[in-house]
Chain A
Amino acid sequence: MPDVEKIGTPKEVWIRCPQCNQIFYIHRLFYEPKYNQLKLHCPFCHTEFEKEKASRIWGA
């Protein structure tokens, strides 16, 4: 995964909501096997979706 100047590997992954297209960020923990199946929750339109359904992901 890419490094970011100063902070190295970022802890956060940026997500674009497939419903409202607004972006928010999630902790990398969502990629751990224990939490991998959990749905994300768009804080703006409250859609719940699997991260694979995000219209765009940065930093994964």
Chain B
Amino acid sequence: MLKNLRTYLAELEEKHPEAVLRIRKPLKVAYEITALQRKLDSLNRYPVIIVDRPILDNGEESPFPVVTNLTASRELCAEMLELDPRRVAIEYGSRAAKRVEPVRVGEKEAPVKEIKERGEEVDLLKFPILTHNYMDPGPYIGTGFVTTYDPDTGIDNTALQRIWVKSPRRTGYWPAIVTHNMRNLEKWWGRGEAMPVAVWIGHHPAGLSGAQSRLGYPESHYPAMGGLLGEAVRLVPTETFGDNILVPADAEIVIEGYVPKDVFEAEGPFGEYPGYIGPQRPSQVIEVVCVTYRRDAIYHGLGVGLADHLVLLGNFPLEARIYNIVKSVVPELLNVFVPISGRRNHAYLQVKKTRPGIGKEAIMAALPVDSRVKHIFVVDEDVDLFNEGDILWSVAYRSQWDKDLVVVKGASVFPLDPSVPAPGDVGTRGGIDATCPPPIEPGLPRYYLMTNKSPDEVAASINLEDYVDKKQIHRFPTSY
């Protein structure tokens, strides 16, 4: 079955109508859509949000609806990929390792070519691009998958990178220094040429996950995208670059342009995935020459700095990478969870403690996996890895700061961490081993106090429903 953004939305509305929030009242693209999303985030609620009547900065109603929060719910994202949400670390890797070669289609079979605009016809500001946070300088495309190619080999690379729409045909563009698109840029500029670039927006979220895969260089992301989609990605040549840059035929919008050599302008400030507003910085620009789109395009906006930004597009692949690498050296590893709360800086690892030292070995194996993972927490198999209260309880009573910390100074870090001092490329990372000591001998209980619990037969015999009306429960007071 052909999969794209709209087939996913249709499937979602049919299977999980309760998971879709359709807003029929007008909402401004400047701040209001993200404000609504943020309020739901704060309640730990993550419906897919469809805004039928987005209002542009010029006060006009856009003919293109906005969909956002597409990749926020762990349950929905896991279901979409046919994964158990509590076993993503274990199951995602094998899905992500699959490769399905893309297929090339003609223009007539490419919905993204329904409308083509070139030169002065191009006006990016007609799309309902969101302005997210209060210090953002303007609308940012948060779900732009930027495709460039290596001029030496012709091999394409795709990455989710932020794009500030400054004017109808000019955008800011910040390829972070460690990225493969930056490597391509350096090659193009080294030749004295502007870098060709295509930015595509809107596709099935499984495909988006594949497009975010961490690959070698140079390596196309389209086969990985197909692997996660479960079918070949249909590709079509761009108007400006032809076969040099192919883009998904089933995308909603494609923007084509050049990154001119040695041109830098102020970019940002911009609220990013850590939940903090990154500073204004000198950055590259894109001069847009062409845009193609579906006649009834749906604009996919990202909840920048919210769960939408983290769960599918960051946490799932990170859990899988940490699991696969750590498991190869610590076979006692059971599971990995990267929580929304840590915004990619925290990872929780669960181990079966059969010998001393496993906790610290797991930390030492996990830290090099990704420079964004700053704090590792290792817990035992009896701890609910997905309950952060249990994680903190383990830290409270199963660790001693002088014995159980691993601290690595001078490690590479991601520059968006505000706590990292200048110049911002190295900082301190580490972990805490919050596990019990292993049993003194095999077959004995672990060397630790038993946690409080009711006797098993009593716990089994007391049914809450026999004493409490279920409808009353949500009205009882809570605590924290």
Contact = CB atoms under 8 A, between A and B. Distances in A.
Interface string A2-32: 0000111111110000000000111111100
A41 interface: yes
B445 interface: no
A10 B269 contact: no
Nearest to A8: B421
B280 A40 contact: yes
A7 B279 contact: no
A34 B407 CA distance: 35
Interface residues of A, number: 25
A35 interface: yes
Contact of A38 (B138, B266, B415): B266
B279 A12 contact: yes
B281 A7 contact: no
Contacts of B137: 41-43, 46
Nearest to B172: A41
Given A41-B137, A41-B266, A11 B282 contact: no
B192 to A, nearest CB: 18
Among B279, B415, B419, residue most surrounded by chain A Cβ atoms (within 10 Å)? B279
B135 A9 contact: no
Given A25-B279, A25-B280, A26-B280, A7 B421 contact: yes
A49 B423 CA distance: 24
A34 B475 CA distance: 61
A43 B136 contact: yes
B280 A11 contact: no
B264 interface: yes
Interface residues on B, range: 20 to 34
A9 B269 contact: no
Interface string B252-290: 000000000000111011000000000111100000000
A11 B265 CA distance: 19
Nearest to A14: B279
B135 A24 contact: yes
A29 B135 contact: no
A27 B422 CA distance: 10
A27 B280 contact: yes
B424 interface: yes
Contacts of B421: 7-11
Given A6-B419, A24-B269, A43-B137, A35 B282 contact: yes
A11 B266 contact: no
Contacts of B419: 6-7
B420 interface: yes
B281 A27 contact: yes
A30 to B, nearest CB: 6
B266 A40 contact: yes
Given A6-B419, A30-B282, A38 B424 contact: no
Contact of B420 (A7, A29, A35, A38): A7
B282 A43 contact: no
Interface of A: 6-13, 24-30, 34-35, 38-43, 46, 48
19 contacts: A7-B421, A10-B422, A11-B415, A11-B418, A11-B420, A25-B269, A26-B266, A26-B269, A26-B279, A26-B280, A27-B279, A27-B280, A29-B281, A38-B266, A38-B282, A40-B266, A41-B265, A43-B135, A43-B136
10 nearest A-B residue pairs (beta carbon): A8-B421, A43-B137, A35-B282, A27-B281, A9-B422, A41-B266, A26-B280, A27-B279, A12-B279, A25-B279
